[in-house]
Each structure stands twice: as structure tokens, then as C-alpha cells.
Amino acid sequence: MENLQEISKTTIVDSVFTKTPFGNMSKKYVHIPTDNVISDMEKLGWVVTESKEVKARKKKGYQKHIVKFYHPDLLIKGENGDDTFPQILMINSHDGSTAFQFRVGLYRIVCTNGLVVADAEFGKLSIRHMGYTFEKLQNLISELVEKIPSLVNKIKTFQECQLTDEQMMKFALDASTKRFGDKYKVNADDLLLPTRTADEGHSLWTVFNRVQEKLMNGGFNTVNSKTNKGRSSRSVKSFAKNIKLNEELWALANEYVCK
């Protein structure tokens, strides 16, 4: 694999490579550069696919950032080419505000879209900078990987659950409030319209995926609840908002699982 420094300009944001902590940090603070963890993840077979950082002026280079990984040997095969790679999402900062946080995600190849898994079994795991070791990381990643069969079963449950037209409409409207609250009204049909063959159908999995993709990418019409003025929705740019909305949509989908 390419050296991290060689791909930093195109793949990895600058804050990943910060070698010193923010200036006013306590002497007790232990600084672990994110690229050290990336190197350790590579040793475990995980490859960087994307990274982002929040905008910052005063703490530029030290701000919160996210790095996404996938393992080429881990693949969840789907019907009609709807294959999915499990992802690991790592969040960190160099200003003392964030420990290393790890979440499980899913990357659907058919739409190049990322999902964030969030329920009781797939929660957020953390490693403090103080006392960080390769062994701690290895144990944490092993814990996440051991849960992948359960994730496969969860997806299968979503796929086997067929929603009625009424349930589909309600899911789309419930999902829209996760992003807009009561500020904007949305036409449920716009969120439910499939953009590809793999997303057609009434299963909870396909409905969840096409609604999630629309809410993340925007481009559909919304109407302001107070002024009644319409506008085209924008994509979700902030990775913090992206993760929060993804987690809320996953939790919502769990509420619709067929009993």
C-alpha cells in the first residue's frame, strides 16, 4: 500500500498528520497522531477510503476529523449485485476534546453510499489517548469484527420485512423529520422514488436505503412550514450531522422491523 504521506494530499486530511498537541493542553495530555493509528489499522488489514475534518481557524490542524476504513476480505454479498462492505469509522481530534471513537458503518457499492449502524449491539467504542497501544486497538477491532455476522443477520431481517404502502409513506415522513424537524415539509413520494433497480421494492432494506440516500444527498423539494416557500434541499456536508442523522435513521428502521 502507498505510504501515508504520499496519499495525504488526495485521500487524508492534514489534521491526521499533526505531530504536536494544541498549545494550551495540560502536561498530562498524551498526544497520539491519527496517522499512527492509521498505520496500526493497516497492519490489521484495514484500508483508508475517506477522511474529512471540520472547518477551523483557531485550531486548524488540531480539529475533529473522521477517517473511514474497509477491509478487502470482508464483504456482505447481496442480491442483484447489491454488495456491501462493513466499514469502521474513526473520529479523533488533537485538542483534547475527543478520544479515539470507533463506529461500525456500511458501504453499499451499488450507490457508493455510506450508512452508520447504531443500536444496542453496535454502539460507539472509544480508546483514550493515554495508554493507547496497538494491542488495545487490535482487541477493539476484533470486538467489532466479531459482530459482523450479527450485522449480516440484521440486514437479512430488513430485507425480509415487507412494508405496506402506508408504512412506506409513514417511514419516509418520519425519516424526513429526523433531518428537518417541523421546519420543512417533504413529499414522501420524492424520498421513496427509486434511482436504481437494486433499490426497487417494498422491503425495509430497500426503502431505508433509498430514503437515507435522498436525505443525505438532497436535491428534492422542501416547503417551509411557516412561509410556505419551496426550495431544493442540500446535501448534508458536516460529518458530525451525517453520523447523527445516519444513526437516527438506523434506529428508526429498527422500529419498523416486522414482528
The better pLDDT of the pair 31, 201 is held by 201
Neighbours of 121 (CB within 10 A): 11
Q: Which amino acid is at 176?
A: S
Q: Which residue has the higher pLDDT, 80 or 209?
A: 209
- Give me the sign of the Cα torsion angle 111, 113, 55, 16: negative
| Per-residue confidence (pLDDT) for residue 98, from 0 to 100 | 80
- Domain boundaries, given as residue ranges, for the chain: 4-148, 159-255
pLDDT at 238: 87
Which of the four pLDDT bands, split at 50, 70 and 90, describes residue 134?
very high
Q: Does the pLDDT value for residue 10 go beyond 50?
A: no
- Helix axis angle, 134-145 relative to 34-43, nearest 10°? 60
C-alpha cell at position 238: 458536516
Q: Bigger pLDDT: 9 or 196? A: 196
Q: What is the DSSP letter of 181?
A: T
Angle between helices 165-180 and 239-255 (to 10 degrees): 150
Question: 43: pLDDT confidence band, cut at 50, 70 and 90?
Answer: very high
Please say if the pLDDT value at position 44 is more than 80.
yes
pLDDT digits (tens, 9 = 90+) for 25-38: 666 667 788 999 99
Contact 243, 116 (CB under 8 A): yes
> DSSP class of residue 113?
E
Element spanning 158, H or E: helix 148-160
Distances (CA, A) of 83 to 33, 45, 131, 185: 33, 20, 37, 33
Count of C-beta atoms within a 10 Å radius of residue 234: 10
pLDDT digits (tens, 9 = 90+) for 78-97: 777 778 889 999 998 887 77
pLDDT tens-place string over residues 115-124: 788 666 677 7
CB within 8 Å of 57: residues ≥ 6 apart:
none
In this structure, what C-alpha cell is assigned to residue 75?
464483504
- Mean residue pLDDT across the chain: 86
How far is Cα of residue 136 from the mean position of the Cα atoms in its chain?
Answer: 23
In which band, very low, low, confident or very high, does the pLDDT at 239 lie, cut at 50, 70 and 90? confident
Of 255, 179, 254, 165, the closest CA to residue 213 belongs to: 179
> Cα 46 from chain centroid?
16
The structure's pTM equals 0.85
Q: Please tell me the distance from the alpha carbon of residue 35 to that of residue 149, in angstroms, as a whole number.
A: 29
